[in-house]
């Protein structure tokens, strides 16, 4: 799979761990930064990753900041993005099964590497269930279009 990954400084170390894991699993990774633990602004990196995903250069996105909240707010502003903030595997599974999430978000200051890797594995190995969930996802797009 092709996965675009991004973080701010607070998510940098976890991003590196996840990147190593995914590369060992033979996934193709696009790392749009940041590239050190020096303080940066998470919206810049979140938006760079979303741009790659919307341009179909990647199948999924993984974004990490301190809490995951800032990255979630940024990612979900873009049409067609369903970003899920997950700190345990059950949420990651449901995010795929019911929400067809295309972006996984985690807080680097909240969870350890082991938990994060389990979350990533679950997210990438779970398929969307479709059916009534498809209707609900389509409804999100319809309703947000109406408010513009």
Catalytic residue numbers read: 65, 98
Q: Taking the complex as a whole, how short is the minimal distance between the CB of residue 99 and ligand RB5, in angstroms?
A: 21
Q: Taking the complex as a whole, how short is the minimal distance between the CB of residue 134 and ligand RB5, in angstroms?
A: 30
How far is CA 61 from each of CA 25, 29, 92, rounded to the nearest angstrom? 16, 10, 13
Positive or negative, the CA dihedral 142, 61, 14, 127 is positive
Q: Which long-range contacts (CB under 8 A, 24 or more apart) does 137-144 make?
A: 137/82, 137/99, 137/100, 140/82, 141/79, 141/80, 144/79
Q: 77-88: buried (b, 16+ CB within 10 Å) or exposed (e) per residue?
A: eeeebbbbbbbe
- Binders of ligand RB5 among residues 55 to 114 (CB under 6 A) are 65-67, 69-70
Q: Taking the complex as a whole, how short is the minimal distance between the CB of residue 106 and ligand RB5, in angstroms?
A: 11
Instruction: Give the separation between CA 105 and CA 109, rounded to whole angstroms.
Output: 12
Residue of 3, 4, 6, 8 that binds ligand RB5 (CB under 6 A): 8
Q: Which residue is nearest to ligand RB5 (CB)?
A: 70
Residue of 12, 34, 42, 45 that binds ligand RB5 (CB under 6 A): 42
Q: CB-wise, 46 or 123, nearer to ligand RB5?
A: 46
Q: How many residues bind ligand RB5, per CB under 6 A?
A: 8
Q: Taking the complex as a whole, how short is the minimal distance between the CB of residue 31 and ligand RB5, in angstroms?
A: 17
Interacting residues toward ligand RB5 by CB under 6 A? 8, 10, 42, 65-67, 69-70
């Amino acid at each position: 799979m092709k996965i675009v990954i991004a973080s701010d400084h607070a998510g940098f170390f976890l991003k590196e761990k996840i990147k190593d894991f995914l590369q060992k699993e033979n996934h193709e990774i696009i790392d749009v930064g940041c590239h050190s633990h020096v303080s940066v602004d998470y919206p810049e990196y979140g938006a760079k990753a979303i741009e790659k995903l919307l341009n179909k250069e990647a199948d999924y996105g993984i974004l990490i900041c301190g809490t995951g909240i800032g990255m979630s707010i940024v990612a979900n502003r873009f049409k067609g993005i369903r970003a899920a903030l997950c700190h345990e595997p059950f949420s990651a599974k449901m995010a795929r099964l019911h929400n067809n999430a295309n972006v996984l978000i985690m807080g680097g200051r909240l969870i350890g590497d082991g938990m994060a890797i389990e979350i990533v594995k679950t997210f990438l190995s779970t398929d969307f269930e479709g059916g009534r969930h498809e209707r609900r996802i389509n409804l999100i797009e319809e309703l947000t279009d109406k408010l513009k």
